[in-house]
Amino acid sequence: MSGQSITDRITAAQHSVTGSAVSKTVCKATTHEIMGPKKKHLDYLIHCTNEMNVNIPQLADSLFERTTNTSWVVVFKSLITTHHLMVYGNERFVQYLASRNTLFNLSNFLDKSGLQGNSLIVF
């Protein structure tokens, strides 16, 4: 059995029902497991940025949505995945990010496990 939480499995199943393979893969790349995103998920998302029929705003919005999660692991993996797509994905992804007024709303993200107490992470 994988280390995915029940929440991760339910969210991935919801995306399967709606037919969004991109959102499902974003969910799987940004699970609650304390490990980096799986290479197969990152590779699929990179492939998606190169496909003309893939909705880049939907891909980016799925990643932005995951950054609002209460789990620091999910938020961190969302940021890692976004960075990976910016470096290795198609330039259309970067152009879309550059065209947005706001990127990530991390103002409510507090690191409650740090040694220095509650620290606000600002990007």
pTM over 0.85: no
Domains of the chain: 22-99 (1.25.40.90)
- Amino acid, res. 58: Q
Q: How far apart are CA 49 and CA 96, in angstroms?
A: 11
Tens-of-pLDDT digits for all 123 residues of the chain?
Answer: 456 777 777 776 765 666 589 999 999 999 989 999 999 999 999 999 999 999 999 999 999 999 988 888 999 999 999 999 999 999 999 999 999 887 777 766 666 655 444 444 544
By DSSP bridging, strand 119-120 and strand 110-111 are antiparallel
Q: Please identify which residue in the block is written with the tokens 């103002």.
A: 107
Q: How far apart are CA 117 and CA 119, in angstroms?
A: 6
Which residues, listed in sequence order, are joined to residue 110 by a DSSP beta bridge?
120
Which residues, listed in sequence order, are joined to residue 119 by a DSSP beta bridge?
111
